[in-house]
Structures are given as structure tokens and as C-alpha cells.
Structure 1
């Protein structure tokens, strides 16, 4: 009888232990929010100084800080974030295939993209610009590109705009990343690089390019940066709330100054933006 009682007690203890292990689910994490699910995968750029830059095992930039803030508001700690490189041409596929949960990578909200993905935001409004060598006085805007070699990134909004609106006489070269374009500009292989002004400003501020490259003319578009999520995802409105809080509590302004410098002045008429209305 004693042996039977001991066996029964052992089984009861084991059952309680198993119940305790499974009560929290997902690795036994406690508390509410999406963070209980283990991790969140966020697509960023790896080669955009000031915005999304990978240095060894570290990631830094305005987009990176925005991504961390949003993840925290969704219930994830920094050690639960997995950053994945998202090149411009692959962003829609990465969301559709579930390779990433969010994309925070200078991702302009457009009607065409909204057919495939949902957007929270905008969290920043940029304008397309041109980067040239410091000695260049010929290029003053998109209308002065005839006969010039211009570099942008395949699948990006700036490249598409140049093709549609300024293609006559322009020799457009498409690269996989803006760092490649800037290297081609620095070596004189191309005459200019085009993308959003905040991206170009980040490159021009790098040590190896200071005094060598400059922004030419004024921005000639309006680019609303959004956080991309899978089409119809219930995360979209949650991200919008996180972005609104980030702007209201002063974090947005701090992230911008920390990464772009106190001298960078975004367009006051458009920034800070008002997130919302793009989750459909």
C-alpha cells in the first residue's frame, strides 16, 4: 500500500509540474501582449547610414529606433527582436511570405503597394532629392539630368518616378542598395544618386564622404514612410497607436536628432506626421 501511495503521489506531482510548464505557453513567458509569443522579426535596411545600418552584430539608425519602440509597445523586449535585411525589391514578398512581421525600412506608402500590404503610419515624410559630387555645378534638380548617369535602387519609388517623369535623356542605372550607388558616385562612374533626401543626407554625413558629396537642389516629391505589415493584419492599428505615442512623448524628435544630427531640418510643414488611415 505504501508503495502504491508513493507511486500515485509521484504521478500527481509530475502532472502538476507539466501543468505549470504549459500554463504560460511559448517558453513559459509571463505577462500579456504579443511578446509572449517569443520573438518578432522586423525588416530593416542594413546599408543606410542614419536610418538602418548594420555594423557587426549591432544595428542603428532612425528606422531601427522606431522599430524598437514599436516592438516594445507590442510587448517585445529588445532581445526578442530579430532584424532581417529587406532590400527594396523584396519587401512585399517578405511580408506576404511571412518572412518578417513588420518592415521599417524607408518604405514609402503608395497606392500600388497598398494593394499588396497594409501600412501603419506615416512616421516620417521625406522628399526625393539628388546627391552629387561636391564639385558638380551642372545638376540642380531633376530637370537638369539630360545626358547624365543617374543611380537608384531597383524596385524603389525614386527609380520608378525617374523612369516615368524624367526619363528623357537620363541614363538610369539600378543597383541593389544605395551604398552601391554612393560608391559609384564617389568614383565618378555615375553623375548623381537619387532617393529620399533623408537617406542622401545620411550618406553625405559619413566620414568618408564629408566634403566630397552634397545634396543638389530642393526635394521634388513627398514620400510618406510607413511600417509595412501583412495585408489585413490586426497588428496595423496597434502599430499606429505605438507611432502616435512615439511622436507625442518626444521620442520621435529625439530619434531624429540622435541619428541625423541637430543640423538636419525635416520639412516642418509635413513633420511630425499624423499616423493613421492606411491600414486597409
Structure 2
């Protein structure tokens, strides 16, 4: 009986040990580059067509999703092992510092201010502030053409303020709750243009219900280098992600993802940017 009890006790200890191992930190796992059946948590936008979109059937699509999936696979995680977490712009730094995500791929422009709180890998896309206009409108070809015209963007948008302050001070700026409202206004001729990053505009214009209705003006009103945000100082994970991004470009997957997600809008993307974020 003593032998049986001892064996049972040993089995219990072994089971507890295995359970503890299975519940280990995703963060260490991601940096080590091995999935081992565990999950990885990645922050994306849920409401940006062409970049990061959660569809009604619970699936995820967009260029950022494709980049994140490729990176996760390079770290040893299959697509089914990714736990997608919504990363609104205002919450990205908090999600990273709290350890709620392993990394974030969410139209996340690299800035000196943000680098005080988080580290970045990449960049993986160079976007520019641009204008979206109606497909048959040939009157807006430069930012100054917006003077005395109705410009739409979302409340608090730095893109809209950039035009209002520097490029077209007499523009009639209308700020609304979401880009979809701007698109409706643009289609109905209630506004003349919508402004934000060209990648975001291309995503909306590429949606099936919008194809042929809008076009990008093709202006480069700012440079926005999108990076992958991660815990500040995590140079090990940064290096692994950078290696994955380089491979994604070299094997053609990056170009394929651009065409798939932005192609219907005739988005004239910049070539894949050079990796600059290294420790």
C-alpha cells in the first residue's frame, strides 16, 4: 500500500509540474521562438478594412493581420495559436506595458514620443497622409485645393489638424465619430474629401461595396513608418521579428499581402522600408 501511495503521489507531482509548464508565460515563449502548442497574443485593429478588420463571422483580415500571422509563424506559432486582441490607438502603449499582448501590429507609426514607452521592430510599411475623393472628382489635386471645401476626418485626428493648421487653413473641417460616416458623406457629396493615412484610405476604398466610388489623390502629406510595437527593451524579440520581416519581403509574401489587401484601390505603395529599429 505504501508503494502504491508513493506512486500516486509521484504521479500527482508530475501532473502539477506539467500543468505549471503549460501555463508558462507567452512572453518568454515568443522571445524564444517556439510555440510548443501554446498561444501568442497579438494586438491589431478590429475596425480598419485592409489593415485589421474583425468580420461579422469572427474572422480577421487585412495587411496587418497577414504581417502578424507571418511573424507569429516565424516565432513558431500556427495561425490557430494566435489570440487576436483589439488594440485601439489610445490603448496600444498600455496593452504592451501591462503584458496583455506579445506584440502589436496596428497601423502603429514609429515616433520618438512612443519610443519612450515601447520598443518597435520594423518598420514594415511606409504610409503617407493622403486624401480620398470621389472617383469622378478631378478638382482636388493638392492640399491647398481644400480651402473653402469640406474636409472630413475623425474626431481628434492629427491628419485633419495637419491640413487645417499648415496646408489648407480655410478648409471647412468636419470631424465625426468614424471613417464610415466620412465615406457616407463623401458618397452623398456632403463633404469633398476624407483624410488619414493612405493605407487606411486604400483599405476602405478596396471594400467590395466601395470599389469604383472613390480614389486616392496620391499626395504624400506626411511619412508614417508603421512598426511592430513590443515591450520596451526586449531586444531578443525585436531581432526575431526583424528577421521575420526581412524574410517576408525576400520571399515575396510582403508584395502578395499588399496586392491582396490594397489592390482594388490602385494603391501605389512604397517599396518595403529598410529595417531601422534595432537595439
Q: TM-score, normalised by structure 1?
A: 0.82
- Counterpart pick for 1:256 among 255, 258, 273: 258
Change (3 A) 1:10 1:179: same
CA distance in structure 2 between the aligned counterparts of 1:237 and 1:148, rounded to whole angstroms: 46
1:247 aligns with 2:245: no
Which residue of structure 2 aligns with residue 189 of structure 1? 190
**Do the aligned partners of 1:130 and 1:192 also contact (CA within 8 Å) in 2?**
yes
**Do the aligned partners of 1:151 and 1:181 also contact (CA within 8 Å) in 2?**
yes
**Do the aligned partners of 1:87 and 1:176 also contact (CA within 8 Å) in 2?**
no
Which residue of structure 2 aligns with residue 54 of structure 1? 54
Which residue of structure 2 aligns with residue 207 of structure 1? 208
Q: Which string of whole-angstrom CA distances, capped at 9 and with x for unpartnered residues, describes residues 31-72 of structure 1?
A: 963535932222222232222222121111111100111112
Which residue of structure 2 aligns with residue 7 of structure 1? 5
243-252 vs 74-83, greater mean Cα deviation: 74-83
Which residue of structure 2 aligns with residue 106 of structure 1? 107
Q: Which string of whole-angstrom CA distances, capped at 9 and with x for unpartnered residues, describes residues 224-272 of structure 1?
A: 11112233234222211211121122211121122223884644xx412
Change (3 A) 1:272 1:143: same
2:209 aligned counterpart, secondary structure: coil
Which ranges in structure 1 are unaligned for 5 or more consecutive residues?
Answer: none
Change (3 A) 1:37 1:263: same
Q: Which string of whole-angstrom CA distances, capped at 9 and with x for unpartnered residues, describes residues 201-237 of structure 1?
A: 2222323223322222533332211112233234222
Q: 1:273: how far off?
A: 1.5
CA distance in structure 2 between the aligned counterparts of 1:155 and 1:120, rounded to whole angstroms: 27
**Do the aligned partners of 2:151 and 2:191 also contact (CA within 8 Å) in 1?**
yes
Which residue of structure 1 aligns with residue 23 of structure 2? 26
**Do the aligned partners of 1:51 and 1:63 also contact (CA within 8 Å) in 2?**
yes
42-51 vs 6-15, greater mean Cα deviation: 6-15
CA distance in structure 2 between the aligned counterparts of 1:128 and 1:247, rounded to whole angstroms: 23
Change (3 A) 1:97 1:150: farther
Give runs of aligned pairs for residues 116-155 of structure 1, distance below 5 A.
Answer: 116-154=117-155
**Do the aligned partners of 2:35 and 2:76 also contact (CA within 8 Å) in 1?**
yes
**Paired residues, number:** 272
CA distance in structure 1 between the aligned counterparts of 2:157 and 2:55, rounded to whole angstroms: 24
Change (3 A) 1:103 1:181: farther
**Do the aligned partners of 1:47 and 1:177 also contact (CA within 8 Å) in 2?**
no
- Bigger radius of gyration among the two: 1
Q: Which string of whole-angstrom CA distances, capped at 9 and with x for unpartnered residues, describes residues 13-36 of structure 1?
A: 4444545x2584327x9x963535
- Cα RMSD (Å) of the superposition? 2.9
